[in-house]
């Protein structure tokens, strides 16, 4: 992992990329989609970070007891990532069941954020070609004129996911949690929420 020096602080490029992508995608949503960024977008991100960081206590309890300050520097790793994704998925299910318009125009924000994150982290790691390809895909996804037809929206999500998986497979191993995450965000989560929404509307 690459580390970025900002003044006296050394920050992992993954953390900086996650924060930059969060605010840059939110800004593009306002500019390109002419829409207010929904609350679930921010809530989902901060819920993920909270669970991912605090899961370190659960998975490394003895180490945390010996060095409580280690929580600042460490996180739950892959197991924490999986747990956080599960918790955020549960949160989105609750949001959809409350009939908040999560799917109609903004389900693609989740995928756009992850793809944009991949672009930013690759640019920070000096992988300019790969980073540029991810950013272009994310901007293309955000610029699509989404229709009222949810099936059309899901087809666009599917197409973008397949292109992103192709990019990741070219530059990475197929057995990374980036690959598994994009499979869930692009295939599993949208269709889970889609069918939950259909059930509520039936």
Instruction: Say whether pTM exceeds 0.85.
Output: yes
Tell me: pLDDT of 159 over 50.
yes
**Above 90 in pLDDT, residue 63?**
no
Q: Are 101 and 93 in contact (CB under 8 A)?
A: no
Exposed (0-12), middle (13-18) or buried (19+): which is 61, by Cβ within 10 Å? Answer: exposed
The C-alpha atoms of residue 78 and residue 123 are separated, in whole angstroms, by: 23
> DSSP characters for 147-188?
-S-HHHHHHHHHHHHHHHHHHHHHHS-SSSHHHHHHHIIIII
Q: Which of 12-16, 50-54, 79-83 has the lowest mean pLDDT?
A: 12-16
198 vs 122: which has the higher pLDDT = 122
Q: Which range among 2-6, 27-31, 86-90 shows the weakest confidence by mean pLDDT?
A: 2-6
Distance from CA of residue 175 to its chain's centroid? 18
The confidence band for 150, taking pLDDT boundaries of 50, 70 and 90, is low
DSSP result, 65-120? HH-GGGGGT---HHHHHHHHHHHHHHHHHHHHHTT-SSSTTTTHHHHHHHHHHHHH
How much is the average pLDDT of 115-120?
Answer: 95
Q: For the chain, what are the domain ranges?
A: 102-202
pLDDT at residue 202 tops 50: no
Asked which of 25-34, 50-59, 117-126, 133-142 is least confident by mean pLDDT, the reply is: 25-34
Averaged pLDDT, 172-183: 86
Average pLDDT of every residue of the chain = 85
């Amino acid at each position: 992992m690459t580390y970025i020096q900002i003044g006296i602080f050394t920050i992992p490029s993954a953390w900086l990329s996650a924060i930059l992508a969060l605010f840059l995608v939110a800004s593009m949503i306002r500019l390109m989609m002419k829409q207010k960024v929904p609350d679930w977008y921010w809530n989902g991100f901060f819920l993920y970070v909270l669970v991912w960081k605090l899961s370190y206590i659960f998975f490394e309890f003895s180490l945390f007891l010996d060095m409580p300050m280690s929580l600042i520097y460490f996180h739950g790793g892959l197991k924490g990532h999986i747990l956080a994704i599960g918790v955020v998925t549960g949160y989105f299910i609750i949001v959809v069941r409350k009939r908040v318009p999560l799917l109609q125009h903004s389900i693609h924000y989740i995928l756009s954020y992850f793809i944009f994150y991949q672009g930013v982290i690759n640019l920070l790691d000096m992988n300019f070609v790969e980073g540029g390809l991810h950013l272009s895909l994310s901007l293309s996804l955000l610029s699509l004129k989404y229709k009222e037809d949810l099936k059309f929206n899901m087809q666009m999500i599917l197409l973008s996911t397949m292109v992103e998986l192709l990019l990741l497979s070219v530059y990475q191993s197929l057995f990374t949690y980036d690959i598994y995450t994009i499979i869930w965000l692009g295939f599993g989560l949208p269709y889970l929420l889609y069918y939950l929404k259909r059930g509520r509307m039936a």
